[in-house]
Amino acid sequence: MKTSSVRVLVVDDYIPFRKFVCSMLGKRPELRVVGEASDGLEAVQKAEELQPDLIVLDIGLPILNGIEAARRIRTLAPQSKILFFSQESSDDVAREALSSGALGYVVKTQAGIEFLAAVAAVLEGRQFVSRGLLRHHSGDAPDSDVLRPYREQALPSPVRGEEEITRNHQVEFYSDDAALVVGFASFTETALRAGNAVIVASTESHRNCLLERLHDRGVDMVTATEQGRFRFLDVHDILSTFMRNDLPDPVRFFEVVGGLITAASAATGQQSRVAVCGECASILWAQGKADAAIQVEQLCNQLTKRYEMDILCGFSLSSFYREEDKEVFQIICRGR
């Protein structure tokens, strides 16, 4: 197959997630989305019509589930390679999906770090299954042979030394702005009372509410600020330092954010842990820059491999998102 023209059909009934998949595929110039489908029957019809090189297929589809759709597709479009992309992290579901003739299975919560690697493997005719799924798999189980052929194609474990750094990157979805402020305040208070440094990147209105709540909680923000253990950054200002052509520049990101973390850590005369909470990805997504939001979160994941730190990404659902959009944002912020 010529990698210069790989034709892809994307099948998922959830529109924001289809857009996410198409955005990820768009990172590779050789990949071209030639069709989208929102249910299993439509997927079968488009697969027969388009004969794509690759089909990215969800399992929980209406009318006809993804596994049954895959079985029909294998008959009607035998040259099309199938990569399942599902929120199901059950070994039993993965076994059934792979038995349909698919070459790959990626759990959606692993999308940020596994999707493009899985696409590459499947297009080369190799098998791929999420490492997140393999964590639940016991090699000694009687039925383990079903998944054993896929194990070698999973992503390798982190290199020795990475896990020696205690790190935490989490995302929280808040019902409204007030709830976001409460969450940021609790995160900040806990870190400061533990003697750590804190950096907050938020809007000006959230900053004012945050400082007011911390004051009411008896947190001495004046002293923390004077000591250099607390620093507020306007989220729009910090974004302007590393965004280039509507995407984050990795070099500038690590220079700017890494420098802030290093300075905060050394502020008290000793290397302290740094806590960072912010809404950079939230603002970018609200501006319609989904690709940039995804990349910022991936860069934050890399930060946690370099520094002793905690990161909290906050999203106010009432401001920008519907409740049902939470899965997409979990994928963005948990892709590590």
pLDDT of 110-121, one tens digit each?
A: 676 788 889 999
Structural domains in the chain (count)? 2
In whole angstroms, give the CA distance from residue 166 to residue 307. Answer: 9
For residues 270-286, average pLDDT: 85
Looking at residue 258, its amino acid is G
Looking at residue 310, its amino acid is D
Same domain, 140 and 97: yes
Burial of 186 (0-12, 13-18, 19+ CB in 10 A): middle
Quickly list H helices, the chain: 15-25, 40-50, 66-76, 91-98, 111-123, 131-134, 148-151, 177-193, 204-216, 221-226, 235-242, 250-265, 280-286, 290-303, 317-320, 326-334
> Of the candidates 177, 229, 174, which has an alpha carbon nearest to the alpha carbon of residue 207?
177
pLDDT of 143-187, one tens digit each?
A: 334 344 433 333 333 333 433 444 577 777 776 788 889 889 999
Same domain, 209 and 268: yes
| pLDDT > 70: percent of the chain | 79
The residue segments making up the domain with residue 22 are 3-151
Same domain, 99 and 145: yes
Report whether pLDDT(3) > 50.
Answer: no
156: in domain: no
157: in domain: no
* The pLDDT value given to residue 153: 39
For residues 296-306, average pLDDT: 84
Task: Give the residue, 332 or 75, on which the prediction is more confident.
Answer: 75
In whole angstroms, give the CA distance from residue 59 to residue 94. Answer: 10
Q: CB count, 10 Å around CB of 325?
A: 18
Q: What is the CATH number of the domain that holds 265?
A: 3.40.50.300
Same domain, 80 and 131: yes
* Mean pLDDT for the chain overall: 81
Furthest-apart CA atoms within the chain: distance in Å = 70
Residue 5 near residue 318 (C-beta atoms within 8 A): no
Measured between alpha carbons, how far is residue 282 from residues 173, 194, 287 in Å?
Answer: 10, 27, 9
Same domain, 169 and 116: no
Residue 55 near residue 11 (C-beta atoms within 8 A): yes
* The pLDDT value given to residue 321: 53
Residue 100 near residue 289 (C-beta atoms within 8 A): no
- Asked whether the CA dihedral 181, 183, 186, 192 is positive or negative, the reply is negative
